[in-house]
A and B are shown apart, each in its own frame.
Chain A
């Protein structure tokens, strides 16, 4: 448990992705089976056992110490698991510390009445960090900033294999992943990827932004289609196993029973997850209502009907199609989707075009309807096989130009790691009319990239020179009608948001230009953003 606790502890305070990879990889390298397997299951969300309720843990600690001292402690720390881990009075002569595998295996086999007793015994035996890790584990959700994908990437690095090679066998493996680690350690062959309902590592596209890049390509070699603005998924139905996966192989099935029911086929589809109403794409915010849920109720299912717009066919009736050229797969896909009924799965149409200028015109001014809400275009070589990862050449994404707005820098926060001495995370705002003639800045987003190292130094200096208030690692900078720094912010889209005071949220905002020259009072207004949002929503149904 100690090594696992130390791993969680460090991960929870580490911001850099590379550092997280190193921490997880080294843990998997140094920790014996089956502990490391259970840890990998915990990090990838693959552990299932009866969770303990926070209320029980609170009662247990209050039975062991003065409730007033506990209340003051909780008040000071602010986090229940952390407080309990620190204040728990260890009885003298406690038992030996349990290992991670011992804890997980006992919990998986425990009945309803036994869990509390087990946990109390372990809390007695563990040191504070171990208690903290235990409580995070048993109350569900480690929340240490590690995605399942990152954990798999680390496991792949440990074994010196690609993450795609690991992903393809992943869904045939079960915790604590003995066969998987035997392969990664070099002691056994790769486990067979032939599990029914498994995930196929996704093929991704390179960006195609440069006119020079385009001019080197022959348009006749490429098919074009819209890049739909939803979530890229893979829908698999094989031998009675039905799964919906994200493009990184996370299992989304539980949140989409309506789609799972619609997988009346034998095969594996690649497509875009969308909310469709009467065949029209609904705003991205509608799809968000359905994401990140463990379960859904009938009301949500009816209000936000999920659908898949199909891009590709990876397997059909037990036949692996990935080595076929795109043209052939596309032909099979059209026939395959044509046979489906129920309306939950439709086909992403190909676009007819006779050269780059025609395609550029489509991208700049999509026809009325769903295409107006597309993120841009996809180009796929007719002869391209379906290849895991992001190979250079066969597929390109050609996104629409981002929207830009001029905003005023309001707050800056210190970065992490190599940026820890810089104020590198910027919150910016636009003008809002509070009353006729009365304008104030309202925050509309936060960005921490898009600028060069030299620009970062200039921004940092600006923040330090014009700080008006400090809150921990955050500084407020002077920003008013007469003085302020204008940032040109580029973003991919706008959504309505109840969490933001401005009522909207930006997607992928970044600093595209620093407008040292522009007076703060001439920055954009909230009305401008609201108008942009209305235009974006206008392209969609719902």
Chain B
């Protein structure tokens, strides 16, 4: 674990709220005059990762890791901010005595925790994170701090993600079991899609994977960052027979779309932490739920809080009340920030 800059948990004369506080536009730092992941355009923003609900276009200055800035440029165009200021993992930026350091969060390519230090006080904003290994991004690094600001997308004890390899094995078994059908895997375009592809490659699947057009740009961007995705082909050419036995990746919305009719009797799969709940799978008409998530599950959330042992836990978006309840039962002072504007259905 990285050591904090100042003496940890000093008898504080400074309240953490003086350094970071929730505002309607997002988490705001008064002494540094910047926001973290603001939901509306602001003068200065630190962006933890490239998902649309955290990384919005139109800020005056956007500070983020180089891959996150590249993702924003790919999605919004090169003029997505007045000025894009890269800040690599481990580098520190200072403004009016406030220091900001970005540390890997393990969520998607380029994702970071924002470590904010001021007058000996350290607050870590997790952004979105997970703790398990991901071949497509740098692993989460715990940082000791006075306040840990955690997401809680899967903050309920029912969310326990199984090992990724087991889920990929279920997909490959189904492909072998139904060679005459195609397997249509819904996966979010940034992060999940590339992770599923990389996991398939790790499992030894070396056939071409068919991809929906909406995934191509980000696949290319991942490749440019050195992530090997193996042979990919656009899922458009050919007749129905060409897709028998194929694995096809598409954004989740495409599963119910008329686009999917070109495939023979597809097995609808969906790679998401929400697939843990059978009613969710049923509701979407998913035949093969793959519980693969880029967010920490309940065990990862609680283990991370115990590992970091912050003086206080602040909980941002997601199922805040359950994590707050857990913190109370475990003697961790906690409060829910109830930030709005983050789409906790994304995963």
Q: Which residue numbers of A lie inside 8 Å of B, CB to CB?
A: 6, 10, 12-15, 19, 22-23, 26, 65-66, 68-70, 72-73, 76-79, 82-83, 86-87, 127-129, 414, 416-418, 420-422, 472-473
Contact = CB atoms under 8 A, between A and B. Distances in A.
Nearest to A423: B256
Given A26-B177, A127-B162, A421-B260, A77 B277 contact: yes
A416 B260 CA distance: 12
Nearest to B158: A86
Given A6-B170, A13-B289, A66-B325, A421 B256 contact: yes
Given A13-B281, A77-B279, A83-B158, A418 B265 contact: yes
B77 interface: no
Contacts of A82: 277-278
B261 A79 contact: no
A86 B276 contact: yes
A73 B325 CA distance: 13
A472 B283 contact: yes
A305 to B, nearest CB: 41
25 contacts: A10-B288, A13-B278, A13-B282, A13-B286, A13-B288, A13-B289, A19-B267, A22-B178, A66-B325, A69-B157, A69-B322, A73-B156, A73-B157, A76-B156, A77-B158, A77-B277, A78-B279, A82-B278, A83-B158, A86-B158, A128-B162, A414-B285, A418-B266, A422-B261, A473-B284
Contact of A416 (B158, B258, B259, B285): B285
Given A82-B278, A416-B287, 5 more contacts: A26-B177, A73-B157, A77-B277, A77-B279, A420-B266
**Chain A at the B interface: SS class:** helix
Nearest to A25: B177
B285 A420 contact: yes
A474 to B, nearest CB: 10
Which one of B156, B158, B279 has the greatest number of beta carbons of chain A within 10 Å?
Answer: B158
B268 interface: yes
Interface in B303-321: 321
A327 B80 CA distance: 87
A414 B256 contact: yes
A282 to B, nearest CB: 37
B329 interface: yes
Contacts of B256: 414, 420-421
Which one of A65, A421, A473 has the greatest number of beta carbons of chain B within 10 Å?
Answer: A421
A83 B278 CA distance: 10
Contacts of B281: 13
B160 A128 contact: yes
Given A73-B157, A418-B265, A421-B256, A473 B283 contact: yes
Contacts of B157: 65, 69-70, 73, 86-87
A47 B295 CA distance: 41
B123 interface: no
Contacts of A79: 278-279
B102 to A, nearest CB: 33
A417 to B, nearest CB: 6
A14 B266 contact: no
* Nearest 10 CB-CB pairings of A with B: A418-B265, A86-B158, A87-B157, A421-B260, A73-B158, A472-B283, A421-B261, A13-B287, A73-B157, A414-B285
B89 interface: no
A12 B162 contact: no
B96 interface: no
A19 B181 CA distance: 10
B76 interface: no
A129 B276 CA distance: 10
Contact of A22 (B162, B177, B257, B325): B177
Contacts of A77: 158, 277, 279
Contacts of B326: 66, 69
Nearest to A14: B287
Which one of A72, A73, A82, A420 has the greatest number of beta carbons of chain B within 10 Å?
Answer: A420
Interface in B229-282: 255-261, 264-268, 276-279, 281-282
B261 A15 contact: no
Contacts of B284: 472-473
Contacts of A128: 160, 162
Contacts of A23: 177
Nearest to A83: B158
A539 B200 CA distance: 64
B268 A420 contact: yes
Contacts of A416: 285, 287
Interface string B75-116: 000000000000000000000000000000000000000000
A12 B282 CA distance: 9
Contacts of A420: 255-256, 260, 266, 268, 285
A133 to B, nearest CB: 12
A418 B266 CA distance: 6
Which one of B278, B283, B284, B326 has the greatest number of beta carbons of chain A within 10 Å?
Answer: B278
Interface string B129-166: 00000000000000000000000000011111010000
Contact of B258 (A13, A417, A421): A421
B329 A66 contact: yes
B278 to A, nearest CB: 6
A8 to B, nearest CB: 11
Contacts of B266: 417-418, 420
Contact of B158 (A10, A26, A66, A87): A87
A72 B157 CA distance: 9
Contacts of A473: 283-285
Nearest to A19: B178
Contacts of A87: 157-158
A76 B258 contact: no
B88 to A, nearest CB: 39
B69 to A, nearest CB: 37
A322 to B, nearest CB: 38
A322 B321 CA distance: 69
A369 B83 CA distance: 89
B314 to A, nearest CB: 20
Nearest to B283: A472
B261 A69 contact: no
Contacts of B255: 420-421
Contacts of B287: 10, 13-15, 19, 416-417
Contacts of B160: 86, 128
A285 B47 CA distance: 65
B306 to A, nearest CB: 15
A72 B321 contact: yes
Nearest to B257: A421
A68 B257 contact: no
Contacts of B259: 421
A83 B279 CA distance: 12
B277 A417 contact: no
A40 to B, nearest CB: 19
A540 to B, nearest CB: 39
A22 B175 CA distance: 12
Contact of A69 (B162, B174, B264, B325): B325
Nearest to A89: B157
Contacts of A65: 157
A68 B260 contact: no
